[in-house]
A and B are shown apart, each in its own frame.
Chain A
């Protein structure tokens, strides 16, 4: 039952992704992608990772995709007829490379399959939390630094240039309320 569900969801994810990458309308592509991510989230759940599944929905399908939509609208890219579409010349090399890479990984993965470990239980939230904050506590700190600097960078880029390179009167780069609107979303993490 669960196995069947896995294959169905796998098919859904692949097909939705296919639609997403061939879609000329960026907004539609995002919608297809969200579908794919939902399917993936359920796959995660089936593979015994409920917490990752939840985050997938919240962060990926929720926050990041919304961020994309936000930028698409901000830049007014919702007019597919104006955008250049990839032609056949773009597709062939891409498909060949993709096929080679996927094929190679599949060949290598299948050539000597790892033995099935029997009866693996679902990893609970408690176990996950312990691993996250005890074993990989440092990693959480690193990623928090990175998020901080994502904010700093986006803020810096979003800020309008204070003035041409001339000695500033007040001595310090004017820190105006930045309009780095793009940078706000990562606080959801």
Chain B
């Protein structure tokens, strides 16, 4: 087991290092093979570890940090949660690597790209497998760094570099809270081992656990783009599409969920923290879904949908439903990777067009992309019997089970979000693939092939953890967490409601964007926002009634949330804070006015203050 675990970590690291150092000198094929081979090798090791898995295991690889009575060796911890994560990460990342071979075919800086991609996988694996908090933090920051490098360094334009920096700095806010939590944990428990800390939670007063939990939550907010630290993620679309897939589906953003799940035995003992987590997740899910409704950029729609889905997972964790959250995490990893990769295909085929209102007709011209993409879309929308349906439902079920005012409200919010999800998903599908459009150019085969396994996994991911009335939930048993106990009837009713909601969303979207209406929407989209009123005069009363009653408030709300809250308040307050700090700094800088006399006076004033203080203390 030790060998497997070491190899899982070392292979991507090795690939990344080799490519970083000599990648540019190697032939292109070799670089690509190396990068992909290392990740798939890690996947094979993960499979072997899975085969050999008998129970939670701690493996110490080397001593790493030791200062005075502080010890943090490189210790890996493999339990069912981390094992499942490792399998998912290596598999999805392996597919993304292969896809990237096709996507990056024309790019000269492929060596750096693959090196960073491999390092990214390595950092994520460290994060997942770490047994102690400093090691986890190392992976945590490594993921942040690689994402910064991948988002920002790519297109060499100021806009994208700024996006990378924004991602880095916003997530850094959360990281800081997390860092404080780590040091505080050490101070409280005299150890940084996660399993030990988790066992000692009951020793601490609830207030302390609550504070710790909130700090961890803040860390997760940053990395998983939860409210109010969501702003970096949509901008992070500046990177190349495989990176988006990597960040959004398999790795970075799920880190926050993983952290909360990992620390749940500790922080879950505080009801306040649970409620805060659930609330954060629920609100984020709803907020991002409304935002997604008004987007025009294909990748931004997907970005907001990621935020929304991560919100679901956080909501699940907040209800104590670790299994459900993990389940959704896995299924989401499959279908979101699928959607991003599919979007990458679409965008490449359309010469880097990202506006969904300028697309169309791809159903016939790009069928090998369309069908997998559709599979991903129905998973995302939660159409019955897909993997997404079961996993999302498991979370909603858990929320429902919690009962009470808060969780009842969150359940309704979750349902509403599911409706919105369904609407924006099919809006996207209809706009992108429906209607007529120009002929796209052909894609590298490898890109489209990668979609197929993901589509299958997404569609049939439900088998991983079937509801009880259909048989045993494998994942629930494997993770060995207390599942939610409900009667079959209740479960069926709830699933029926969820199915109904999803189908309603589908039909609403079809009504507005399907068939002939699609063209109208396109015309509408051409006009300026004020053109909407002009369109009113043309007499589509029914549609307008519907607009006024239903869609318009939502569009207004979502536009409001997106432009005002997201870009206005949250972005703006950060900007204003930065600006204020900058000004203060400038003021402090002008203290150094170049005149020695002031320097001496300031120096002497310092001395006078120190001596004055000492005299005052002694006197």
A residues adjacent to B (C-beta < 8 A): 93-94, 97, 100-101, 103-105, 107-108, 111
Residues of B within 8 A of A103 (CB): 615
Q: How many angstroms from the CA of A105 to the CA of B619 in the assembled complex? A: 12
Dominant secondary structure at the B interface: helix
B residues adjacent to A (C-beta < 8 A): 601, 604-605, 607-608, 611-612, 614-615, 618-619
Partner of B604, one of A97, A107, A111: A97
Residues of B within 8 A of A108 (CB): 611, 614-615, 618
Partner of A100, one of B601, B612, B618: B612
Q: Which residue of B lies closest to A107 (CB)?
A: B615
Given A104-B614, A108-B614, decide whether A97 and B608 contact each other with a Cβ distance below 8 A.
yes
Q: Is the CB of B611 within 8 A of A104?
A: yes
Q: Is the CB of A101 within 8 A of B611?
A: yes
Q: Is the CB of B618 within 8 A of A111?
A: yes
Residues of A within 8 A of B607 (CB): 97, 101
Residues of A within 8 A of B601 (CB): 93-94, 97
Minimum distance in angstroms from A44 CB to a CB of chain B: 25
Given A100-B612, A101-B611, decide whether A107 and B618 contact each other with a Cβ distance below 8 A.
yes
Given A97-B601, A97-B604, decide whether A105 and B611 contact each other with a Cβ distance below 8 A.
yes
Partner of B605, one of A97, A104, A105, A107: A97
Q: How many A-B residue pairs have CB under 8 A?
A: 31
Query: Which 9 A/B pairs are nearest by Cβ-Cβ distance?
Result: A104-B611, A104-B615, A100-B608, A107-B615, A97-B608, A97-B604, A101-B608, A100-B612, A104-B612
Given contacts A101-B608, A111-B618, 15 further A-B contacts (CB under 8 A): A93-B601, A97-B601, A97-B605, A101-B604, A103-B615, A104-B611, A104-B614, A104-B615, A105-B611, A105-B615, A107-B615, A107-B618, A108-B611, A108-B615, A111-B619
Q: Is the CB of A107 within 8 A of B608?
A: no
Q: How many angstroms from the CA of A111 to the CA of B604 in the assembled complex? A: 23
Minimum distance in angstroms from B601 CB to a CB of chain A: 6
Q: How many angstroms from the CA of A101 to the CA of B614 in the assembled complex? A: 11
Q: How many angstroms from the CA of A111 to the CA of B619 in the assembled complex? A: 7
Residues of A within 8 A of B614 (CB): 104, 108
Residues of A within 8 A of B618 (CB): 107-108, 111
Residues of B within 8 A of A94 (CB): 601
Q: How many angstroms from the CA of A105 to the CA of B614 in the assembled complex? A: 9
Q: How many angstroms from the CA of A107 to the CA of B608 in the assembled complex? A: 13
Q: How many angstroms from the CA of A107 to the CA of B472 in the assembled complex? A: 83
Q: Which residue of B lies closest to A86 (CB)?
A: B597
Residues of A within 8 A of B611 (CB): 100-101, 104-105, 108
Q: How many angstroms from the CA of A107 to the CA of B612 in the assembled complex? A: 10
Residues of A within 8 A of B615 (CB): 103-105, 107-108
Q: Which residue of B lies closest to A99 (CB)?
A: B608
Q: Which of A103, A104, A105, A107 has the most CB of B within 10 A?
A: A104
Q: How many angstroms from the CA of A111 to the CA of B615 in the assembled complex? A: 9
Minimum distance in angstroms from B599 CB to a CB of chain A: 14
11 contacts between A and B (CB under 8 A): A94-B601, A97-B604, A97-B608, A100-B611, A100-B612, A101-B611, A103-B615, A104-B614, A107-B615, A108-B611, A111-B619
Q: How many angstroms from the CA of A103 to the CA of B615 in the assembled complex? A: 9
Minimum distance in angstroms from A87 CB to a CB of chain B: 12
Minimum distance in angstroms from A28 CB to a CB of chain B: 23
Q: How many angstroms from the CA of A103 to the CA of B611 in the assembled complex? A: 9
Q: How many angstroms from the CA of A103 to the CA of B607 in the assembled complex? A: 12
Residues of B within 8 A of A101 (CB): 604, 607-608, 611
Q: How many angstroms from the CA of A107 to the CA of B614 in the assembled complex? A: 10
Minimum distance in angstroms from B446 CB to a CB of chain A: 57
